[in-house]
Amino acid sequence: MLRITALEEHFVTRAVVDAWRSVDARWQDLALGLSSQGRTARRLLDIGADRVTEMDDAGITVQVLSLSTPGLAMLAPADAVALQSMTNDQLAYSIAKMKEDGIVDSGDTLKLGIGAMTDAHWKNFYDKMVHAGVVKPGLDYKKGYTLQFVNKGVGLDLRPKN
């Protein structure tokens, strides 16, 4: 199965954004406004179900998460180390919680493996895009994807044997 890994996928935590804002305005990174407001902030703060849904929609199997720019370099060293530890703990908790709640390993993935994709999934996505006015009804959406490289049982060997 073709596995798509997205590298340098950024995220932030609320505590990191608060720390960025606490820095003297003269030393704040120019990216602070973009990374901490509106849709971009919502997406960066989400390391749960919405992110996984977007991964599925894009055909991404794995994301390598990185703390978003500007990171923690502008903070005092002791503050940066403490916040990085807290951020790592939050990320680890979020991943464990997704596993516990079956966000990644449920539905079609239980039988078809991680990254499962079905004609029904594509039809559902197409119907939503028609409803949202993104595409016109009648588009032959089946020409836009293939199941040739998916549903190969990736990760099934890693599942607990019950």
The pLDDT assigned to 138 comes to 95
Q: Give the strand pairing for 5-11 and 62-67.
A: parallel
> Is 68's pLDDT higher than 80?
yes
Secondary-structure breakdown of the chain: helix, strand, coil percentages, each rounded to the nearest 5: 50, 10, 40
> Does residue 23 sit in the same domain as residue 68?
yes
Interacting residues of 16 by C-beta distance below 8 A, sequence separation 6+: 67, 68, 72, 83, 87
User: pLDDT-derived band of residue 162, with 50, 70 and 90 as boundaries?
Assistant: low
> Does residue 87 sit in the same domain as residue 40?
yes
Rounded to an integer, the average pLDDT of 70-96 is: 91
The pLDDT assigned to 69 comes to 77
Q: pLDDT averaged over the chain?
A: 85
| pLDDT digits 0-9 by tens, 130-158 | 999 999 999 999 999 999 888 888 777 77
Owning domain of residue 17: 5-101
Q: Check if the beta carbon of residue 5 is closer than 8 Å to that of residue 61.
A: yes
> Does residue 20 sit in the same domain as residue 80?
yes
> Does residue 67 sit in the same domain as residue 123?
no
Beta bridge partners of 142: none
> Does residue 34 sit in the same domain as residue 10?
yes
The pLDDT assigned to 139 comes to 94
Asked which of 101, 121, 144 is the last residue of a domain, the reply is 101
CB crowding 77-113: b at 16 or more within 10 Å, else e: eeeeeebeeebeebeeebeeebeeeebbbeebbeebb
> Does residue 83 sit in the same domain as residue 142?
no
| pLDDT digits 0-9 by tens, 14-52 | 999 999 889 898 888 877 777 788 888 888 888 887 888
- Nearest CA to 13 among 4, 21, 3, 1? 21
Q: If residue 62 lies in a helix (H) or strand (E), which one and from where to where?
A: strand 62-67
> Does residue 58 sit in the same domain as residue 127?
no
> Does residue 87 sit in the same domain as residue 14?
yes
Asked which of 101, 118, 139 is the last residue of a domain, the reply is 101
Structure tokens at 137: 């009804």
The more confident residue out of 159 and 129 is 129
> Does residue 85 sit in the same domain as residue 15?
yes
Asked which of 58, 78, 101 is the last residue of a domain, the reply is 101
| pLDDT digits 0-9 by tens, 97-136 | 878 877 677 788 888 887 788 999 899 989 999 999 999 9
> Does residue 96 sit in the same domain as residue 113?
no
The backbone torsions φ and ψ at residue 99, rounded to the nearest 5 degrees and listed phi first, read -65, -45
> Does residue 42 sit in the same domain as residue 95?
yes
> Does residue 124 sit in the same domain as residue 91?
no
**Domain tally, the chain:** 2
Structure tokens at 35: 């990374």
The pLDDT assigned to 47 comes to 84
